[in-house]
Amino acid sequence: MTQNEDTGLVVLAATPIGDSRDASPRLIEELRSADVIAAEDTRRLQNLLQRLAVTTTARVVSYFEGNEAGRTGQLLAEVEAGARLLLVTDAGMPSVSDPGYRLVAAAVDAGVRVTAVPGPSAVLTALAVSGLPVDRFCFEGFLPRKGGERQRRLDELATEPRTLVFFEAPHRTADALTALATAFGADRRAAVCRELTKTYEEIRRGPLAELAQWAADGVRGEVTIVVDGAPATTTDSVDAVGEVTELVAGGMRLKPAVAVVAERHGLAKNALYEAALAARNQP
């Protein structure tokens, strides 16, 4: 849709992920000049303003997961009336595992101009310091909380060749690393990046099983996990199914046999299971 030059502007602004000195001059300028500031947490915004010694005359409203759907239309109406709307989240770039997507999509549909103030990103920072390949990567956000759903997602990603980046809550980090080790293999390289750019920043690198053992004692702070992509494999599905069949013939049950072969070759367990099941049911 053609942009309407008579409307206002939506500005997505990245905020510091830890160190307030990472705030860009443009962020400070936008905080001062905005007509409306939509913040994921208004208290955290006030704290940021104090740390940056910034005073704003903007009307501040909350915009978070719980009210995002209902408030988007109201905010868009203000922009269409000429307001300069600044959207900020607690840390990093809005719309990336944070509120913002609905507003951007609605603004685009309405022909309203959207721009961004680039800046700190936990995804890119963790990727850069991980020591893992950075030429191609895939951001997966937060894994599902339920074990079954999480395992299905990881099974789908087991053969992904690109470096993977995940966000995780500190109290679920150990379980997530254990699930990753189960789905991807205990020796798959990874890095756990904790409290990036903050005083107690910590980056732990090693095999997934080793990192899971480390995290079992408890992890604190904001966590980003970076995992090496699946290694190239020359084993095709026919060969893998054959190995599963041999293990089953030797007395192992189908699912454990699939798990063994999938881990051995870095294959997705769910796909291998379906292939082995189909082969077993053939006349």
The answer to whether residues 140 and 219 belong to one domain is yes
What is the tally of structural domains in the chain?
Answer: 3
Alpha helices (H) in the chain, listed in sequence order? 25-33, 42-52, 68-80, 101-109, 122-129, 147-157, 173-184, 208-215, 237-249, 254-265, 269-281
**Percentage of the chain lying above the pLDDT 70 cut:** 95
pLDDT in tens, 59-93: 999 999 999 999 999 999 999 999 999 999 999 99
Q: What is the span of the domain harbouring residue 260?
A: 237-281
pLDDT in tens, 178-233: 999 999 999 999 999 999 999 999 999 999 999 999 999 999 999 999 999 998 75
Which residue, of 120, 139, 171, is where some domain finishes?
120
Instruction: Tell me if 91 is assigned to some domain.
Output: yes
pLDDT of residue 267: 74
The answer to whether residues 60 and 154 belong to one domain is no
Instruction: Tell me if 131 is assigned to some domain.
Output: yes
Instruction: Tell me if 42 is assigned to some domain.
Output: yes
The answer to whether residues 23 and 85 belong to one domain is yes
pLDDT of residue 5: 59
The answer to whether residues 156 and 248 belong to one domain is no
Instruction: Tell me if 2 is assigned to some domain.
Output: no
Instruction: Tell me if 14 is assigned to some domain.
Output: yes
Q: Which range, 1-5, 193-197, 254-258, has the best average confidence (pLDDT)?
A: 193-197
Q: Which two tokens stand for residue 14?
A: 């990245």
Instruction: Tell me if 223 is assigned to some domain.
Output: yes
